[in-house]
Amino acid sequence: MQVIVVGCGRLGAELAHRLFQRGHDVTVIDQVAAAFDNLNPLFRGRTVEGEVLSQDVLHRAGIESAEAFAAVTNSDTLNAVVAHVARTVYHVPHVVARNFNPHWRPLHEAFGLQVVSSTTWGAQRIEEMLGEAEVRQVWSSSNGMVDLYEFVVPESLQGRLLREILPEGPYVVVACTRIGQPMPSAQETPLEAGDVIYLSPAPEGREALRRWLRAQQKG
């Protein structure tokens, strides 16, 4: 896959190298040549120096044939604008923009972009780790509207059916695993201690599910 990464700070450099390691054709754009020093010495992709909103710079980066585009600079306005251009003008199929300051996230959302807000995500995770260690949230969407919780079945629920133990509420059971393997017929299979259930609540049911999870973990 041909990928363009805009911004070669610590995040952009790490992303570019990870994509390169996976075998993708990666081009990194930054307006400051010294930023390319952040790249891993083993990185063998291309680098393009120049103003990212310049049509010439985008052309030299190969945007006409790009299949993916990530705008990850420290400027929310630049990320939003250049990602919007990549998606609507050059019709790049996969476009993601970094949100640096949470106050500017509505700007990205107004453009209809896929957004990753590391600040918001990180704050949510640290808050939960400090205050609710017994409730394990394993994934959250970039805007925090979709969460995925992990519930490890305790010995007290051994032998019960999934439908018997779960509370009522607006959520979905995403997956159930046993010894790391999926349980296709989990609804009708007696649970064993150590089974893992993954649940995703609707926003209005999030707190109720978290209370139930805390109660179960405390026995």
CB-based contact 96:118 (threshold 8 Å): no
Q: What is the pLDDT of residue 110?
A: 83
What domain range includes position 68? 2-120
* Token pair 């393009």: residue: 48
Residue 200 maps to which CATH number?
A: 3.30.70.1450
CB-based contact 66:94 (threshold 8 Å): no
- Which region, left, alpha or beta, applies to residue 159 given φ > 0 means left and ψ of -120 to 50 means alpha? left
- Number of helices (H), then strands (E), belonging to the chain: the values are 7, 11
Cα separation of 94 and 81, whole Å?
15
Same-domain check for residues 70 and 142: no
Same-domain check for residues 110 and 15: yes
Same-domain check for residues 16 and 108: yes
Q: What is the pLDDT of residue 133?
A: 46
Q: What is the pLDDT of residue 215?
A: 82
CB-based contact 2:67 (threshold 8 Å): yes
Q: What is the pLDDT of residue 208?
A: 85
Out of 85, 120, 155, a domain closes at 120
Same-domain check for residues 92 and 138: no
Any bridge partners for residue 182, and if so which? Answer: 177
16: tokens are: 């570019």
Which residues of the chain have a pLDDT value below 50?
133
